[in-house]
Copies of this chain bind each other. A is one copy, B any other.
């Protein structure tokens, strides 16, 4: 596994090939687990952390039948490579910039990853393209079961899986979907989605940007409760409300197309024009214009691009990826220039 390959392709979860990829970027399941015979990490010293890492590494080798995982020692990576893993959602920000023995294991398709010694001893994750939360959960469950054959997870009969932070106790499960809702934002109906989602105790947050005005119209919906519900109930809760949100966004897109086609076409093509010609472009403007281009692609107003191209550009235009391509650290202003250049070249190749 060469991290330099990361600059050439995105993980499977950005392939745009899963169900409802017009609205749902990806589905994700995360499980928090700890080894019963070791201290929680807040109390473990470096030697103990290394022992935990060794034990988990060994167990990960055993899941090789299901999925082939490569392990990367985070501490050995430079800042750019850490950012790279973070931007690909293979590790968390905390994991990237913490200290001490910690690693991540992931497969070539980047559908599965396991962080070792993040907040918990293990943070397992399965990602899938589009709306495949159930499938992601099944895959996650298989891996978790296999690991449980060789690892003794901290488990309490009353509380369930024990975790470093009480908000994860029970199932240790976080299920989430990443949504692209430009039409609902454009028509100021996104608040309705927030209302419906929070009413059933799900959390919704902008993926980029501050507060509810998400940059690029991307939102993540996830469960808040991990305790007192089965894994199937948690996944089912999100899965049951999602079709309504997808239908709502799709309906509004169709309405915009029929009543305001020219205005929409103008917006998405101008965004494409900006991305094709700018010499300096901020991360924020890139998000906003890519969001419009993605809307253009899914509505077929832009027909020479596919969803995965736009998804890839979201990834490739982030700081770690830009710097990886250039091979050295870039100041913020330099990144804006390099970002513009890389986007232009990417789009030029697709003409």
Contact = CB atoms under 8 A, between A and B. Distances in A.
Interface of A: 262-263, 265-266, 269-270, 272-274, 276-280, 337, 340
A269 B274 CA distance: 8
Q: Which 3 A-B pairs have the closest CB atoms?
A: A273-B277, A273-B273, A266-B279
Contacts of A274: 270, 273-274
A277 B280 CA distance: 19
Given A262-B337, A337-B262, A340-B266, A276 B273 contact: yes
B276 A263 contact: no
A339 to B, nearest CB: 12
Contacts of A337: 262
- One complex includes copies of this chain to the number of 2
A269 B278 CA distance: 6
B266 A270 contact: no
Contact of A279 (B269, B276, B279, B340): B269
Most chain B CB within a 10 A radius of its CB, from A263, A278, A279, A280: A279
A127 to B, nearest CB: 33
Contact of A277 (B263, B270, B279, B340): B270
Contacts of A276: 273, 276-277
25 contacts: A262-B279, A262-B280, A262-B337, A263-B280, A265-B279, A266-B278, A266-B279, A266-B280, A266-B340, A269-B277, A269-B278, A269-B279, A270-B273, A270-B274, A270-B277, A270-B278, A272-B277, A273-B273, A273-B274, A273-B276, A273-B277, A273-B278, A274-B274, A276-B276, A276-B277
Nearest to A344: B269
Nearest to A264: B279
A332 to B, nearest CB: 14
A276 B273 CA distance: 7
A65 to B, nearest CB: 50
